[in-house]
A = this chain, B = another copy of it.
Amino acid sequence: MAENILFAHRFDEVSGSAIREIFKIIAQPGMISFAGGNPSANALPDELVSQIAQNVLQSDGKRILQYGATEGYPPFVDCLKVYLRNHLNLTPETVLPVTGSTQAMDLLCKALIDPGDRIIVENPSFLGNLQCMRLYQAELVPVDSDENGLLPGSLEQLVIQTKPKMIYTIPTFQNPTGKSLPVDRRKAIADIANRYHVVVAEDDPYRDLRYSGSELPSIQSFDQNGWVVYLGSFSKVISPGLRVGFMAGNENILRKCTIGKQSTDVHTANLNQAIVDQFIRQDLLPGHVKKICENYKIQCKAMLAELESFPEGVRFTRPEGGLFIWVELPEDMIAKELLQKAIENKVAFVPGTHFYVDGGHENTLRLNFSNSSVEQIQIGMRTLSKLIYN
C-alpha cells in the first residue's frame, strides 16, 4: 500500500491534536468529562435553529443553495457590521464570514506566514491554533504572563528582539487559563502593534460568556492603523456544529484572506450564515446568551467551590467567564499520571502540558465546567481531590 509516501515538511513536527486523542479514550459511558470545550447540550438551540433553517430556505432558498460569494452571504455581512458596532463598538473596514473562527486563523497564517516567520503567543495557549501555526512552519515565541495575562513590557521586548509577523492572543477568558487581560494591557498591545507594524490576531470567542465583573473593550477598539484583526465566533453562543465565525479588520489584510479562502472552501455555507444572520436580526442572541450564562455561572461557581477545599499547594484561576479553570498541582505532581487514575475513576480532564509551546509544566491541567451538571462537578471534583491526596 501507499506507505512510502513523502508527506510535506509542514507535518514534520505535527502529529495531530493530542486533545482529540484524549477525547476518543474518554468517550465512555458514565465518564464525567472536564476535558472538552463543548457547550452544554442545553445551550444548543435546536428548536430555534430548526425553525430558522426552514424559514430562510423558504424565503431565500434558491440563493442559499446556489454558489455564494467568498466575501460572504450579503445579508449576513451587512448584519455583522451592525452587530459589531452595536455589540462591540467596533467599526472595522471589512468583515469576512468564515467557517468557524479556526478558519480565520488558518487564513491569517496563509496570508502572512512564510516558514520560519515568528508568531508571539501566550504560553499556555489554545492548542488547535498552535497546531495551525505549526503547520505554517511558524516559529512560536512564547511571551511571559502573570495572573492577569500577557505582560506588555515583555511583549514589546520580544517584538524588538524577534521581529515577529504576528501576535496571537485570546484576551478574554483565555483558553486554557480563563484569564482576562485588563484594559490597560489591551491598549498597550494595540499600541505595540501600531508602533512596530505587527499584526495582532485577537481571538475572542468567549467574550459573551461573562458571569461576573464588567465588560472589557476589545484590543481592536484601541487600534489606530488597522494592525489588529478581530476573530469572532458563534460557536459558544449559538452552535459550534454550524461552523460560523468571522474576521474583522483592515481591508488590505482581509483581501488576502479572501483570496486564500477562494481555494480553501470557496465560501462559508450560505445556509449556516443565513441561520446566524436571523439569530442576530431577530434579536435572539441576548436572551439566549443570558440563559446560557445563568447556567454556566452556577457550574463555574460549583467547580470553584470544590477547588477551594482542595489539598494545600493546589492553585487555580478564578475566571469571570468562559469555559475553563486552570489548575496548578504541587510541583512534584504529574497531571498525566493523575489523568490515568482519574480515568479509572471515570473522571477526565486535559493535562496542561499540551497547551505549552515547548511542553513541560507537567503539574498543570485544564478543567471545563460547561459540559457537566453541578452534581457531576461535585462528584468528579471530589474524586480528583481524593486522588491528589493519595
Binding site for B on A (CB under 8 A): 1-11, 14-17, 20, 36, 38-39, 41, 44-47, 49-50, 53-54, 57-58, 61-68, 70, 99-100, 102-103, 105-106, 110-114, 117, 128-129, 131-132, 135, 165, 197, 199, 225-227, 235, 238-243, 250, 252-253, 256, 258-260, 262-272
Q: What are 22 A-B interface contacts by the 8 Å CB criterion?
A: A1-B250, A2-B199, A4-B197, A5-B199, A7-B256, A8-B114, A10-B110, A10-B114, A16-B258, A39-B66, A50-B53, A50-B57, A53-B57, A63-B241, A102-B264, A106-B263, A106-B264, A128-B262, A131-B262, A242-B271, A243-B266, A271-B272
A242 to B135, CA, bound (A): 27
Q: A49-B57, A135-B263 are in contact. List 15 more A-B contacts (CB 8 A).
A: A2-B253, A5-B199, A8-B111, A8-B113, A9-B114, A14-B259, A17-B259, A44-B61, A46-B64, A50-B54, A53-B57, A64-B241, A99-B243, A128-B262, A243-B269
Question: Within the complex, which residue of B50, B227, B269 is in contact with A241, where a contact is CB–CB below 8 Å?
Answer: B269
Bound Cα distance from A266 to B10, whole angstroms: 18
Residue in A4, A110, A132, A199 whose Cβ sees the most chain B Cβ within 10 Å:
A110
Bound CA–CA A260/B8 (angstroms)? 11
Please tell me which one of the listed residues B17, B129, B241, B267 contacts residue A66 in the complex, with CB atoms under 8 A apart: B241
